[in-house]
Amino acid sequence: MIGRFLSGRGIPLASLMLVRQPVRLAVALAGISFAGILMFMQLGFRDGLFDASVTVHRLFDADIVLISPRSTSSVSMAGFPRRRLVQTMALPEVEGITPVHWNLLLWRNPQTRGTRSILALGFEPGDPLFVDPTLAPKAQVLTQKGRVLFDEKSRPEFGPVAEWFRDGRTVESEISGKRVRVAGLIELGSSFGADGNLLTSSETFLELLPNTPPGSIEVGLVRLQQGTDAEAVVEKLNALLPEDVTVLTKQGFIDFEQNYWRTSTSIGFIFTLGAAMGFVVGCVIVYQVLYSDVSDHLPEYATLMAMGYKLRTLLGVVVREGLLLALFGYLPAYAAGQGLYLLVRSATALPVAMDFSRAITVFSMILVMCMASAGLAMRRLVDADPAEIF
């Protein structure tokens, strides 16, 4: 049925009119593809940044997360009483807990001696922290005071820590003016809020940040019995605990972080505006092409109207032209988007990848763009008077 519609009931009038002027067709497809690429990149950057903001959040071995209601994002985590986390053990659904210290500290590059903020997580080495099973044996070295595990996927501005450690060198540096030694490497990945990460024990963390109030933590991880409904447990904990703690599911903790960057910063607006500009540019290009095509073929349209063809039939030709432009303009945009996403991932480590929802979104935007332009170009045909043309 779709093929019959596009071919115009046997005579591919729309496609013949488009290919009649190859240069104009090439310009139109190039413009649509450019608009599509622009939309792919803007939406990809926006979603990639939102995904990058929760790199660590996704790795936590937890079903429920406790944070302070004064916390606004990963770069501004406030503390809450550790006893609130202990109180969750009163529910039979709770299997285990892990208190986590979370803060940005100043790391000194061991090579250049420059300083840069790094995300430090402090926990008890014997407690589960991440879903990665390889972390547990590595965490045992943290029982020694002053030892840290360095994220080898951190930005290079933190120094050649991973390279030196693999070469067997003793890697020591300073955090907040205190000496620490790298005792192992982990793979987490930088996030939008932090360019690098390290893990340490709670004892070492409190040594690095002595002003931390006693009995205070920034994040509480709660693991539930298998098959337990996390949402139901959240409701129970909200009724059990005071208002000095916020109870979230793990997905709610992820959404909490992403909503901050989406609503409290200009990131979402900027990249969404960029995608909208691509949409507008594409509309202008397609409208110019279709309007010119209709204007150039007004005598032919008038002849068909004089022969008895209904205006609705001729308008369908313009609609089919818009559909063909959308289809053939989207394909190179999609291919280019895949290649550019790969380039961005390799150059920046930003988690930018093509997904089905974004592919459908951009295609829908291109389709609406072409259909809207076709609708505007139809006015030229509707206003045409065969008597005046001849």
Q: Please give the pLDDT value at position 11.
A: 57
Q: How far out from the chain centre does Cα 370 lie?
A: 27
Residues 241-268: b if buried by 16+ CB within 10 A, e if exposed: beeebbbbbbebbbebbbebbbeeeebb
Q: What is the DSSP letter of 127?
A: S
φ, ψ (nearest 5 deg) of residue 184 = 180, 170
The pLDDT value recorded for residue 285 is 81
CA dihedral (284, 289, 290, 295) in degrees, to 10, reads 120
**What are the per-10-residue average pLDDT scores of the chain (390 residues)?**
44 70 82 89 85 88 95 90 94 95 93 92 93 89 94 90 93 91 90 85 92 90 94 94 94 92 79 84 81 73 69 75 87 93 80 88 89 76 56
In the chain, domain spans: 2-52+266-389, 69-244
Closest to 85 measured CA to CA, from 98, 69, 68: 98
Terminal C-alpha separation, the chain: 36
Interatomic CA distance for residues 280 and 221, integer angstroms: 46
Alpha-carbon 220 to chain mean position:
25
Q: Determine the pLDDT at residue 6.
A: 39
Residue 299 DSSP SS3: helix
As separate numbers, helices (DSSP H) first and strands (DSSP E) second, the chain gives 15, 11
Q: What one-character DSSP code corresponds to residue 195? A: S
CA nearest to 28, candidates 363, 330, 325, 281:
325
C-beta atoms surrounding 213 within 10 Å: 10
pLDDT of residue 374: 78
Contact between 242 and 87 (Cβ < 8 Å): no
Which is it for the CA torsion 302, 303, 308, 311, positive or negative? negative
Spatial neighbors of 190 by CB under 8 A, at least 6 apart, are 52, 55, 151, 153, 154, 155, 196, 197, 349
Q: What residues form DSSP beta bridges with 80?
A: 217
Q: What is the pTM of this model?
A: 0.75
